[in-house]
Amino acid sequence: MEEKLLQIKNTYLEKVAKAKNLKDLDEIFLALFGKNGEITLATKEFPNLPKDQLPKVAPLLAQIKKELETVIEARREGIREEGYRLLENEKLDLEGGKPLDKKGHLHVFTTFEKEVVELFEKLGFQRFDAPHIDTDEFNFGLLNIPENHPARDLWDTMYIDSEKFGIQPGKMLLRTHTSNSQVRIMRENKLPIRMMNIGRCFRYENLDARHEHTFEQFEIVYVDKNLSMANLQYLSEYFLRTIFGKDIKVRMRPKYYPFVEPGVGVDGECIFCEGKGCKICGFAGWLELAGAGMIHPTVLRNGGVDPEEYSGIAWGFGPSRILMLKYGIDDIRTFLSGDLSKLLKYEEEKS
């Protein structure tokens, strides 16, 4: 184990020295300390080590971890300083150049957001906004996810150093889902309720073709008497068939979410591989497009609603995944990349 740790250290010290930009350093950091990083995985091997090795290996790992973090941060500062020096010598020519002939237009995300909002307004849903920076209570606690609940591992949460603002550490965060609106919606509105929320969420993800650290979510909260899974199924089919057409293949399967009971995942067949399996769908043949379920009685009570008299539906999806299917986009990072040529290409191909 000691030899393995030293090998990790030497390999990544060399990579850090060769890093040319901040993106390279971010990738190195994730490769070391991310969910599946070298250091993270090495730590998970500790329970399997002989007890006589732990007094040697544990301090060594801590030392290597600290050394690598220090070297990465030092290289990060060095790259920033190099960038500042380049900017000092850079000149901007405002005289020459020809104005662009193309006119601007709304981003594909903005257009889709309008389409979705109008779609649910036809069913009587109203728009509701919740904070991007929120408390642990609204993001987790009131949603039937108390502190130390194992379900919290489903979200890679980014907490804020709240001590600077006189708030107890670990109590402020960047919201991980639009579900932080659920209890607020129930507390602030009269029954029955039909509300929708679309907005940005944040998670500490390992970036790939299907995952971003900053992304959009859409969610509805529907509370009334005698609601059932049949209503949920109707809403799913209403949305997906309107967006993709009547031929879209849709399936619902049981899935666990702490704030609903029962919960389901709503999947659409992957259009890239037609169900055969590819990197976009994780070789499953299906893309999970929405998560939904009947609002848990505990969450209803936290919102001031009597679960004996009323039932509720929580239903939400990631617009990015829907747009990937709609426009044939093979990488979720395209939306926030700033590469307009890619987005224009996809739009032109569909028009």
Question: Residue 114: which residues within 8 A CB-CB, separation 6 or more?
Answer: none
β pairing state of 158-159 and 172-174 = antiparallel
Active site includes 210?
A: no
Pairwise CA distance, residues 279 & 209, whole Å: 8
**Residue tagged active-site, from 75, 210, 217, 292:** 217
Active site includes 177?
A: yes
Residue 214: how many CA atoms within 13 Å on its side-chain side? 6
**Residue tagged active-site, from 177, 194, 210, 321:** 177
Q: Compute the radius of gyration of the chain from its Cα atoms.
A: 24
Pairwise CA distance, residues 175 & 139, whole Å: 6
Active site includes 286?
A: no
Active site includes 203?
A: yes
Active site includes 292?
A: no
**Residue tagged active-site, from 183, 314, 315, 321:** 314
240 neighbors 250 (Cβ within 8 angstroms): yes
Active site includes 260?
A: yes
270 neighbors 287 (Cβ within 8 angstroms): yes
Question: Residue 149: which residues within 8 A CB-CB, separation 6 or more?
Answer: 140, 258
**Residue tagged active-site, from 76, 151, 152, 155:** 155
Pairwise CA distance, residues 187 & 304, whole Å: 6
Single-letter amino acid code for the residue at 269: E
**Residue tagged active-site, from 75, 175, 184, 203:** 203
Kindly write down the DSSP assignment for every residue of 135-180, as one continuous string.
EHHHHTGGGT--TT-GGGGGS--EE--GGGGT--TTSEEE-SSGGG
Looking at the annotation, which residues are catalytic? Answer: 155, 177, 203, 217, 260, 314
